[in-house]
Chain A
Amino acid sequence: MPWGWIIGLGLVALVIFRIYYVVHVLKARDLAFFVGAMLQSLQLGSLYALIALGYTMVYGIIRLINFAHGDVFMVGAFLAYFLFSRSPYALPWALIWAALSAWGVMFVLNLWRGSFRDPIVIGGGVVAMAGLTYALSATTVNWLLAMLLSMLITGVLGVVIDRVAYRPLRGAPRISLLITAIAMSFFLENTGLLVFTRNQTPFRPPTEWTQYLQFPVFGSTVYTTRLIFLIPLATALLVVALTLFVTRTRLGKAMRASAQDPETAQMMGVNVDRVIATTFLLGSMLAAAGGVLWGLNFGSLNQPAVMGILPGIKAFAAAVIGGIGSLPGAVIGGVLLGFLENFVTALFPRTQHFAGLTEYKDTFAFILLILVLLLRPSGIVGEDLSEKV
C-alpha cells in the first residue's frame, strides 16, 4: 500500500524538519535532548506494548475488551512491590501464603495437564512454594525474582478471572461479557485498595538499573538511566519468547487456530477453553512484567484504584491502532504510542509564548485512536474487522 508509506515518510520528514526548527531557529533544545527523548519514547512504548499484548491476545480469541486487564497490570506491580519491600514475614505466615499460591499454580497447571500427579504440575507447585517461601521470609529480595514470582501469581490470577467471570458467559451476548469485565475491573480496584494500600507507593527496589547514565552525543550530553537498556531489552525478550511460543508449539498453533475460527478449531479437537486459559495466563504474565517495569520506570505506583485505568485504556488504544488481534500490531501500536506521547511533547517544548503540550499528552492516544478508527479501522497491520457482526 503506497499511501501508507507516503504518509509515514511524510510524517518522518515533518518530524525531522521540526527538530531542525526547534534546534536551530527556536534554539530551545539541542540535538542531544532529542536523542534522549527518542530513547525515553522507546522505553515508554515498550511498556505500552507489554500491556497491549494481553489485550490483543484476549480480543483475538474471545472478542472481548478485557477491561480488567489494566487492573491485572496493577496487581502485578503491587505483588512484586510487596515481595521485595515488605519486612519479612514470620516463617509460618510465609508458608501459608506460599502454600496458597502454590495451590493456585497447581490448579492452573492442572487445567493443561489434567492430573495433580503430573510431574509438571507438582514441579510448578514446588517452584512456587519454594520461591514464595524464600521471597516472603527473606529480608531482601532481588527485584528480578520478585518480578518472576509476580508474573507467576498474576498469570494464575488471569486464569482464575477467566474461569470464574468470563467462562460461564461463553455464548452469552457480547455486552454481558463486557459488563462483567467492567465489574471485574471495579472489583480488582477496590480489592487492591483494601489489600494493598490507599496511597501512591514508592517503587524503588535496590538495583543498579535505575542509576543515572550519561553519554556524549553531538557535542552535548544525554542524561538518562540504565533502564534505557533494561526495559526495551526485557520487552524484546518477552516478545520473542511469546512469538516462539505462538509459532513453534502445539498450544501456540491451537491458539492461532482458535483465533481464526474457534468453532472449527473445536471440531478439529482443539480444547478451546484450555487455549483461552493459556491466553489469559500469558497476557497476565506480560502485564505483570509490564507493571514491574512501569514501577521501575516511574519510581512509584499510583494508588490501586487508578493505577491501571489510564495505562490500560491507552494500551488498548495502542492495540487497536496497531491492529487488534495481531501480536506485531500490539508491539507496533505500543511503541508508536510511546513516541507519540513522549516525542511529540518533546517536539513542542515550553517557550515564552507557548505553554507546551505536556498538559495534553494524555489526549494524544485517543486522538490517534479516533483517527485510526475513521481512516483504517483495522489498524496498521490488522485484518479487516470493521463490519459489525
Chain B
Amino acid sequence: MTGLLSYLVFFLIQALIYALVALGLNLQWGYTGLFNIGVAGFFLVGSYTFAVLSGPAYATHLGGFGLPVAVGILGAMAMAGLIALVVGIPTLRLREDYLAIATIGIAEVLRLVALNARGLTGGSRGAQSIPRPFQGLELGNVASNLVFLVLVAALVVLVYLALETMVRSPWGRVLKAIREDEQAASSLGKDPFRFRLQSFVLGCAIMGLGGALNASFVGFVAPTDFLPILTFEIWAMLIVGGSGNNRGALLGSVLVWAFWTGTGSIAQSLLPSGLQVKGGALQVILIGAVLLLILMIRPRGLIGEERTVSREAELGGDGRT
C-alpha cells in the first residue's frame, strides 16, 4: 500500500511539473498563438540555472553559490525569461515561422552547449546532488516526496490562478485579439509585438520554473533529459487537454503523463529485452496515434477553449449588436 502510495506521489509530482510547463505553453500557443517548438530548451535553461545557483560546489564545472532554493528558482525563471527575450525580440515582429525556427534552433543549441561546454554544465555527465527545498529538515524519503508534492501543487495552483486572472484581464483579451486578428488589434491601438513579447517571456519563465523544480526533484540534470521529444510530449499534453484552456492544460498533463508512464511500464514488463529499445519508438507512435484520435474526435481537445461572447452581444440577447 505504501509502495503504491509513494508511487502515486512520485507520479503526481512529475505530472504537475509538466503541468506547469504546459501552462506556460498554453499562454504562448493557446492564448497568443505563438508557435514555440523549443520548450525543451527553456526547460533546460531553468534546470541548469537552478543547479548552478542552488547546487553544491562542483569540482569540474560552474556552481557552488549555495543560494537558497527559492532564489535558485527565481533565478531559473529569470534566466529562461532572458533567453526568451533574446529569441523573442528579433523574431516576434516577423512571420510566425521565424519564431518556430528560432525556438527549435535555440533548443538544439542549448542542448549542445550543455553537452559540450564542460566547464559550464558538466558535459554529458551532467550536474549531480541538486538540493531539494527543506533539505535541512532531514525528512525521510517518503516524507520528503510528500513535502515536495505539496510545494509543487501549491506552485501549480498559484501559477494557474495567476494565469486565469491574467487571461481574463484586459491584457489577456488583447492577447486573444492578436491571436485572432492581428490587424484588427493593432488598428485599435494595441502593439502586437509588445503583447506577444510579454506573453512569450512570461510563458518561457514558467517553463524555466518547471525545469528548476524538475532538477530539484530528480536531483541531477544531464543533456539527454532535454531531447526534442520533451517538446513533443508537452505539446501532446496541451493538445489533448485543450489549448486555450488552463484547466485543459492541467488535465492533459496528468492524462498524457499517465499514458506515457503506463505504456512504458507495460512495454517493460511485456516486451522481451531485445525489443525494449524499439519500445521507445513505439511509445512515440502510440502518443501520436492518441493525438490524432483526439484531434479527429475532439479537435479542440478534451476541454477546449471557452466560448467568449462580448458583453454587448450577451445583453442584446439576439447577438445582432
- Do A and B make up one complex? yes
Residue from B33, B86, B96, B97 within 8 A of A370 (CB atoms):
B86
Q: Does residue B152 face the partner (Cβ distance < 8 Å to A)?
A: no
The answer to whether B117 and A313 touch across the interface, beta carbons within 8 angstroms, is no
Q: How far is the CA of A186 from the CA of B116 in the complex (A)?
A: 25
Q: Does residue A25 face the partner (Cβ distance < 8 Å to B)?
A: no
Q: Does residue B68 face the partner (Cβ distance < 8 Å to A)?
A: no
Q: Given A360-B113, A362-B112, A388-B182, do A373 and B91 touch, yes or no (CB 8 Å)? A: yes
Residue from B89, B95, B102, B116 within 8 A of A366 (CB atoms):
B102
Q: Does residue B164 face the partner (Cβ distance < 8 Å to A)?
A: no
- What class of interface size applies to chain B in its complex with A? 35 or more
How far in angstroms is the closest Cβ of chain A from B250? 23
Q: How far is the CA of A64 from the CA of B33 in the complex (A)?
A: 17
Q: How far is the CA of A355 from the CA of B116 in the complex (A)?
A: 12
Q: Does residue B159 face the partner (Cβ distance < 8 Å to A)?
A: no
How far in angstroms is the closest Cβ of chain A from B226? 14
Q: Does residue A140 face the partner (Cβ distance < 8 Å to B)?
A: no
The answer to whether A373 and B105 touch across the interface, beta carbons within 8 angstroms, is no
Q: Does residue A285 face the partner (Cβ distance < 8 Å to B)?
A: no
How far in angstroms is the closest Cβ of chain A from B44? 14
Q: Does residue A386 face the partner (Cβ distance < 8 Å to B)?
A: yes
Q: Does residue B67 face the partner (Cβ distance < 8 Å to A)?
A: no
The answer to whether B113 and A175 touch across the interface, beta carbons within 8 angstroms, is no
Q: Does residue A194 face the partner (Cβ distance < 8 Å to B)?
A: yes
Residue from B105, B116, B284 within 8 A of A369 (CB atoms):
B105
Closest to B98 in A: A373
Q: Does residue A49 face the partner (Cβ distance < 8 Å to B)?
A: no
Q: How far is the CA of A147 from the CA of B88 in the complex (A)?
A: 41
The answer to whether A362 and B97 touch across the interface, beta carbons within 8 angstroms, is no
The answer to whether A386 and B93 touch across the interface, beta carbons within 8 angstroms, is yes
Q: Does residue B212 face the partner (Cβ distance < 8 Å to A)?
A: no
Residue from A178, A193, A369 within 8 A of B281 (CB atoms):
A193
The answer to whether A362 and B109 touch across the interface, beta carbons within 8 angstroms, is yes
Q: Does residue A65 face the partner (Cβ distance < 8 Å to B)?
A: yes
Contact with B along A172-198 (1 / 0, CB 8 A): 001100100011001000100110001
Dominant secondary structure of chain B at its interface with chain A: helix
Most buried by A among B101, B102, B106, B232: B101
Residue from A186, A194, A316, A388 within 8 A of B93 (CB atoms):
A388
From 81 to 126 in chain B, residues with beta carbon under 8 angstroms from any chain A beta carbon are 86-87, 89-91, 93-98, 100-102, 104-106, 108-109, 112-113, 116-119
Q: Does residue B58 face the partner (Cβ distance < 8 Å to A)?
A: no
Q: Does residue A12 face the partner (Cβ distance < 8 Å to B)?
A: no
How far in angstroms is the closest Cβ of chain B from A20? 29
How far in angstroms is the closest Cβ of chain A from B40? 12
Residues of A near B182 (CB, < 8 A) are 388
How far in angstroms is the closest Cβ of chain A from B91? 6
How far in angstroms is the closest Cβ of chain B from A57? 16
The answer to whether B94 and A373 touch across the interface, beta carbons within 8 angstroms, is yes
Q: How far is the CA of A385 from the CA of B97 in the complex (A)?
A: 12
The answer to whether B91 and A355 touch across the interface, beta carbons within 8 angstroms, is no
The answer to whether B97 and A65 touch across the interface, beta carbons within 8 angstroms, is yes
The answer to whether A174 and B96 touch across the interface, beta carbons within 8 angstroms, is yes
Q: Given A360-B117, A370-B90, do A313 and B108 touch, yes or no (CB 8 Å)? A: yes
Q: How far is the CA of A355 from the CA of B33 in the complex (A)?
A: 41
Most buried by B among A194, A317, A377: A377
Residue from B90, B113, B116, B119 within 8 A of A373 (CB atoms):
B90
Q: Given A194-B281, A369-B102, A389-B95, do A309 and B90 touch, yes or no (CB 8 Å)? A: no
From 361 to 377 in chain A, residues with beta carbon under 8 angstroms from any chain B beta carbon are 362-363, 365-366, 369-371, 373-374, 377
The answer to whether A175 and B90 touch across the interface, beta carbons within 8 angstroms, is no
Most buried by A among B96, B98, B117, B284: B98
The answer to whether B96 and A374 touch across the interface, beta carbons within 8 angstroms, is no
Residues of A near B118 (CB, < 8 A) are 359
Most buried by A among B109, B112, B113: B109
The answer to whether B35 and A175 touch across the interface, beta carbons within 8 angstroms, is yes
Q: How far is the CA of A386 from the CA of B86 in the complex (A)?
A: 18
How far in angstroms is the closest Cβ of chain A from B171? 21
From 201 to 220 in chain A, residues with beta carbon under 8 angstroms from any chain B beta carbon are none
How far in angstroms is the closest Cβ of chain B from A52? 13
Contact with B along A67-84 (1 / 0, CB 8 A): 100000000000000000
The answer to whether A174 and B108 touch across the interface, beta carbons within 8 angstroms, is no
Residue from B87, B101, B109, B116 within 8 A of A320 (CB atoms):
B101
Residues of A near B100 (CB, < 8 A) are 65, 178
Residues of A within 8 A of B (CB): 63-65, 67, 174-175, 178, 182-183, 186, 190, 193-194, 198, 309-310, 313, 316-317, 320, 355, 358-360, 362-363, 365-366, 369-371, 373-374, 377, 385-386, 388-389
- Chain A to chain B contacts (Cβ below 8 Å), 13 pairs: A186-B284, A310-B108, A313-B101, A362-B108, A362-B109, A366-B106, A370-B102, A377-B98, A385-B95, A388-B93, A388-B94, A388-B95, A389-B95
Q: Which 3 A-B pairs have the closest CB atoms?
A: A373-B90, A359-B116, A374-B90
